[in-house]
Structure 1
Amino acid sequence: MQPTNLSRRGLLQGAVLTAGAAAFLRTALTPAPARAQMGDMPSGTVHSFSTGGVTVHSYVSPAQTVHVTSHVLELGDELLVCDATMIPPTAAEVAALIASTGKPVHTAYVSHEHPDHWGGVAAVEGVTYKTLPQIREAIAAEAANGEFAEPTSLLQGENLVLGTTEIGGVTVEFRHYEATEAPHIIVAVLPEQKIAIVQDLVYNGVFFAPGVDRQNWIATLEMLRDDPAFETLLVGHGLPTTRGEFHTAIEYLKVMDRVWQDSANPAEFIETMQASFPGYAGEFLLSLAEPYWDR
């Protein structure tokens, strides 16, 4: 199969940046090495910026763990934490980031069922994660196979309450979307700062997992693309970005769906996706085509 003809111009068509968003991409992110012992694995990086009285720290794990992210937001004198990454060494770096702020965690939550986001929960000591009952049930079933340390603080944690609340004097809205990249996913929106923590609804420069329902995933992204509540996206894999990435993600998913339908087997799908998106990282995520293939 020939690679899908997809140019960067085509991906970004319609993704016009506001002056503020362009300035964010140029100057706001301040990368720094994470501070924890990683053994033979390279350290992840922390990318920080401040807006509207909120300071955002996005921890991006190294390539070996597919650049999965965890976000630590300083809201006044309290923290909002999203996800724990996949393995103890990267989760230890998230824990070190949390400790470096000197602030208590008000709410920590796991955004969805996939273990690259909850596998490190046990290594984030002293933090109890919340999530939705449907997500917790799926995590409990997967944790039972013993591949990851049992996320006791999550399995015994409280349910996350959806809707609007206040943390450290900052308004936060928790939303729930179904049947996209995962069966269930939590999105946190800070409307005053125009920030959305979308996690695996959007990947930035990293191959997407096959997803539960790509057509519904696209429809959800189209709805979010037209939502004026946010300009900055904190994603599940890769660097924070702007709302223009919704367009890129939609086009990527359309290509992925066509390649999926046209491929004779997972190997052909993987080869074509790699040829179509040569600059993308996280090739391991393409291997998930195998268990998804007959669904």
Structure 2
Amino acid sequence: MTQPSSPDLSRRDLLKGTALTLGAATLLRSALVPSVARAQGALPPGTVHSFATGGVTFHTYVSPPQAVHVTSHVVEFADRLLVVDGTMLPPTAQEVSALIQSTGKPIAMAVLSHEHPDHWGGSPLIEGASFATLPQIREAVAAEAAGGQFGTPSSVLDGPDLEIGMTEIGGVPVEFRHYENNEAPHMVVTVLPEQKVAIVQDLVYNGVFFAPGIDRKNWIATLEGLRDDPAFDTLLVGHGLPTTRGDLDTAIAYVTKMDEVITAAATPDDAIAGMKAAFPSYAGEFLLSLMADYWTK
């Protein structure tokens, strides 16, 4: 499939429903080539944002607002692909599958970054993908899938174990890292050091309300460590547009404020109101409804 061109699509339309950070705006002006993905059913289409560097092309699929701008990333090497995450819904996964098919290249590897179902719910519809992940993540996915809301993601549950550390895909160095107890119990980050790109997924959201997380103090410390890491300049995130490393400061400020708001709030509703007041332009309000699920007071 050839992605449709979008000459009449303005940046305002493209980014409707998201808060555009400075890093994302810079990247959009300088490198990203956006296009509209193919619409499926009643759900509006997502968007694909592409750029090339160091002989590798990066395609980020961003789901529409109804699917909280969750992402899937297709990394295109000379003759094969790396796919990270499967999005949440069948229509968005079908658009990711169409993006993959449009490259004309096979999937060398697919990776699931963490156990939250908005990142694996659509995985069974991504043709040719068997998702490698950590055993701890797969175990959590199995427990979540047992509830039946998202079906049984056999492409994850039957996938291979992911080896943390350096490897090569298509002759290009790729590093898989494992971070614990942040937004999720386990998070896989993918770094391409020669291209200076990191796929950080839900360690950073861009213009979208963050999930409350399980250990915000440790999350902040992890982000501070990434901020001081020279291995990358560009971030591909779990919700929203690709951005630059400068948005690590934005994420640190957000998680810090979220921790302050939750600490001061008497109820989850109070915390939700506080986050809306602090970040009025952010999208993905549904994610704030998770506050009650994480509430420990």
Same fold (TM over 0.5): yes
Residue in structure 1 matching 2:290, options 282, 285, 288: 288
1:162 Cα deviation after fit: 1.0
Residue in structure 2 matching 1:149, options 148, 151, 172: 151
Cα distance between partner residues in 1 of 2:43 and 2:178: 34
Cα distance between partner residues in 1 of 2:43 and 2:30: 28
Residue in structure 2 matching 1:219, options 216, 221, 226: 221
Confirm or deny that 1:67 pairs with 2:66: no
Q: Which aligned pairs between 1:10-159 and structure 2 lie closer than 5 A?
A: 24-35=27-38, 37-159=39-161
1:151-196 deviations in whole A, cap 9, x for unaligned? Answer: 1121011101111111011110000000000000000000000000
1:126-170 deviations in whole A, cap 9, x for unaligned? Answer: 211111100000000110111012111210111011111110111
For the residue of structure 1 that corresponds to 2:83, the secondary structure is: strand
Point out where structure 2 has 5 or more consecutive residues left out of the alignment.
Answer: 1-20
CA RMSD of aligned residues (A): 1.5
Cα distance between partner residues in 2 of 1:259 and 1:24: 31
| Amino acid in the other structure paired with 2:43 | M
1:75 Cα deviation after fit: 1.6
Q: Is the 8 A contact 2:72 2:86 kept in 1?
A: yes
Cα distance between partner residues in 2 of 1:193 and 1:61: 25
Q: Is the 8 A contact 1:221 1:250 kept in 2?
A: yes
Cα distance between partner residues in 1 of 2:296 and 2:27: 42
1:20-77 deviations in whole A, cap 9, x for unaligned? Answer: x986342211110112x42111000000000110100000000001000000010221
Cα distance between partner residues in 1 of 2:60 and 2:86: 11
Q: Is the 8 A contact 2:74 2:100 kept in 1?
A: yes
Q: Which residue of 1 aligns with 2:260?
A: 258
Cα distance between partner residues in 2 of 1:206 and 1:135: 24
Q: Is the 8 A contact 2:59 2:75 kept in 1?
A: yes
Bigger mean CA offset, 26-35 vs 58-67: 26-35
Q: Is the 8 A contact 1:122 1:149 kept in 2?
A: no
Q: Is the 8 A contact 2:50 2:58 kept in 1?
A: yes
Bigger mean CA offset, 196-205 vs 117-126: 117-126
For the residue of structure 1 that corresponds to 2:289, the secondary structure is: helix
For the residue of structure 1 that corresponds to 2:74, the secondary structure is: strand
Cα distance between partner residues in 2 of 1:220 and 1:110: 20
For the residue of structure 2 that corresponds to 1:198, the secondary structure is: strand
Q: Is the 8 A contact 2:27 2:242 kept in 1?
A: no
Q: Which residue of 1 aligns with 2:269?
A: 267
Which runs of 4 or more aligned residues in structure 1 lie more than 2 Å from their structure 2 counterparts after TM superposition? 21-25
Q: Which residue of 2 aligns with 1:3?
A: none
Cα distance between partner residues in 1 of 2:255 and 2:89: 27
1:231-276 deviations in whole A, cap 9, x for unaligned? Answer: 0000000000000010000011110000001111111111111111
Cα distance between partner residues in 1 of 2:277 and 2:25: 29
Total equivalences in the alignment: 277
Cα distance between partner residues in 2 of 1:153 and 1:25: 33
* Same amino acid, percent of matched pairs: 67
Cα distance between partner residues in 1 of 2:28 and 2:284: 22
Q: Is the 8 A contact 2:107 2:128 kept in 1?
A: no
